[in-house]
Structure 1
Amino acid sequence: MHVDRRALLLGGAGVGLAGLAGCATPAAAPEPPAVAVPPAVARQPGVVTPPAAETEFVAFDVTAPDRDALAEALRALSVPAAGVTVTVAVGASLFDRPFGLARPRRLTRMPPFRADVLDARWCHGDLLVQVGADTRERIDAVLARPLPHLTPRWRLAGTQRDRNPFGFTEGAGNPDTANAELMDRCVWVQPGDDEPAWCAGGTYQVVRLIRLAVPAWEAEPAHVQERVIGRHKDTGAPLGRTAPDAVVEFAADPDGAVIPLDAHIRRAYPRAGRERRILRRGHAYRRDPADVGQIFVCFQRDLELGFATVQRRLAGEALERYVRTFGGGYYFVPPGGGDFIGEAMLA
């Protein structure tokens, strides 16, 4: 079934701010070969398709007593809505239920990273639903529909902007989503991967809910902000460069004279090794004047070689004092196709 869709406060959000500021464009890094996904394996929209102007994330706990009831819940989430993109992902806790489902091998509960202050009320969930549209009214209409066997756990709405709440260009340095081979290597689980067969055509999703210390940030002069991020604020280009996607050779600046050693893009830069690039999305949120932040989202073929590797490398970056991660989780986006999202998982 194909739904009609279009396509930080004092602590460390880490890679969450890769969504805010953008990583440097990496040099070529070793990647596993891509294996063509059979045409019968569809992919959900809302991953490589452009983010909608408005997006809401809702995590649910599943109250279904059996697989038939779980299928009923997934069918309800799969009902098409004009002008709306719905992307459904599953959390690790769903596979702890007695449904007999084969768990994606790399799916765990998101652990706390350095300086995270995670609030259990804003973390995890059996299912995560990402709903995108041009207007809030369309999103509200979809989420107002009856959703059997589902209890909301947390919910947060975000807005897509060219610049994040810290005033820097959003998404600089992201891998090219038009490059299907690159997306197969970095984002989509492939047939033959060390995963249950139903996972082919899916992807791992990370969501990080990040509060931003906007007043403290805005009190800093622009040149200090630029050295914290490692980019020019007006153009988005790395310091010392003119193009946002310019490749930075940090070896030529070993002492951090141009880009400081604790700058965000320098810490996030994918070095040669086993790590893989991630596809980042950033959505600004504002719950009230004192709670402003970013919903950082990324997709990858392997959680450990993607997000987790970069996140650990960001420990101690200069950006930590302006950000705080308080929620989110790890999820797996099943492939599309079939009569409803998740049908292959239940087969």
Structure 2
Amino acid sequence: MTPALSTTELMAFDVTARDRAGLADVLGALSSPVAGAVVTIAVGASLFDGRFGLERPRRLTPMPSFRSDVLDPAWCHGDLLIQVSADTQEPVDAAVARRIPGLIPRWRMAGFHPDGTRNLFGFREGTGNPDASDASLMDRHVWVQPGDDEPAWCVGGSYQVVRLIRLAMPSWDAEPLEVQERVFGRTKDTGAPLGQAAEHADPGYPSDPGGRRIALNAHIRRANPRTPESEAHKILRRGHSYRLSPSDCGQIFVCYQRDVELGFATIQRRLAGEALEKYLLPFGGGYYFVLPGSDGDYVGKQLVGSNAG
């Protein structure tokens, strides 16, 4: 629930442990605290291939390829996804340096905030997020609840989507400011919807049905059209930027939701054909399920202790 910290590292692994006891050892080692860091442990669909007899979250599947995706298998999926975040680099380095038997690396990406909450395109991130301090709102949209069609061990967990997106920086930087703002539907300096004064102001779509002020294919209009139906599709976004080289930089898009199909997947399909699409190249990531916390014990104990399914 905390805002994205200034530095983060995502590491996907495949599990080589041979049985459930070995998997428990891996999760126990991953759960050991790292001073100054926040560590999140999530599981991918491939962990539920029958090796450990685990009961799979009902909505956990491999991430499909969406329109404009060019997915590289070397940058996708994984049995486990570990995210380490901190306000300084040292705790992240300490966590990453740990070598845990039973795991082999699959992919790894370091992220940062270039300027507070702005992405590399220069626009504010997460303006449309639901209020993470509102527990009832988080229960409704982020956390799996008792009574959901899920295994009992999933209660208190959340579906996580990670998207590694390369940004076409030369093309973007060549665009004049008014084009960039029309692509997003917001002013670059304040983050306000075009024609409004404040970042969190209502965009006023009913008074602009033809898209003269905020284009019909603008990012904010496609992502959240502010209809009664779209209220059910809220997600909690926590993104970072990455830079692998001067010519390879982009966005680590991360979001959490109670139902990945109702949340991210629905929004992503709605974004197809948006004006921003030509500047983005999604190439990696995956669908995962964040394990519920475990008071006084290792994260994932509910999972490895659950009945086979």
How does the TM-score come out when normalised to structure 1? 0.85
Q: 1:58 aligns with which of 4, 7, 11?
A: 11
Following the alignment from structure 2 to structure 1, what is the Cα–Cα distance between the partners of residues 85 and 286? 19
The question of whether the paired residues in 1 share the 8 Å contact of 2:233 and 2:267 is answered with: no
Q: Amino acid of the residue matched to residue 311 of structure 1? A: Q
Q: Deviations over 1:111-139 (max 9, x none)?
A: 00001000000000000000011222221
Aligned pairs for 1:135-214 within 5 A: 135-160=88-113, 161-214=116-169
Alignment check: 8 A CA contact 2:236 2:256 kept: yes
Return the alpha-carbon distance in structure 2 between the equivalents of residues 122 and 272 of structure 1: 36
1:345 equivalent to 2:303? Answer yes
| Residue of structure 1 in register with 2:65 after alignment | 112
Are the counterparts in 2 of residues 228 and 318 from structure 1 also a CA contact under 8 Å?
yes
How much has 1:92 moved relative to structure 2? Answer: 0.4
Contact 1:278 1:298 in 2 (8 A): yes
Whichever residue aligns with residue 235 of structure 1, its letter is T
The answer (yes or no) to whether the contact 2:194–2:203 under 8 Å persists in 1 is no
- Deviation at 1:191? 0.6
What letter corresponds to residue 41 of structure 2 in structure 1? V
Q: CA deviation at 1:226?
A: 0.3
Unmatched runs of 5 consecutive residues or more in structure 1: 1-47
| Residues 233-264 of structure 1, C-alpha deviations (whole Å, 9 max, x = no match) | 01001111111111223122111000001100
Residue 310 of structure 1 corresponds to 267
Q: Which has the higher contact order (CA 8 A, sep 6+)?
A: 1
Is residue 76–residue 146 contact of structure 1 (8 Å, CA) maintained in 2?
A: no
Matches for 1:210-229 after TM superposition, within 5 Å: 210-229=165-184
Count of equivalent residues? 300
Calculate percent identity across the aligned residue pairs.
Answer: 65
Could you say what the CA RMSD is over the residues aligned between the two structures, in angstroms? 1.0
| 1:173–1:244 Cα contact (<8 Å) kept | no
Decide whether the 8 Å contact of 1:106 with 1:302 is kept in 2. yes
Task: Give the distance between the partners of 2:127 and 2:9, measured in 1 at CA.
Answer: 22
CA contact (8 A) 2:75 2:106 kept: yes
Q: Please say if 1:233 is aligned against 2:233.
A: no
Inter-partner Cα distance in structure 2 for 1:66 and 1:159: 36
Aligned partner of 2:253 in structure 1 is 296
CA-to-aligned-CA distance 1:144-194 (integer Å, 9 cap, x gap): 112110001000000133211000112111111111110110100001111
What amino acid is the match of 1:273?
E
Deviation at 1:293, TM superposition (A): 0.2
1:273 to 2:229 alignment: yes
Which consecutive unaligned segments of at least 5 residues does structure 2 have? none
Q: TM-score, normalised by structure 2?
A: 0.95
**What's 2:33 paired with?**
80
- Render the CA deviation track for 1:198-234: whole Å, top value 9, x for unaligned: 0000000000000001111011010100000000001
2:278 to 293, 312, 321: 321
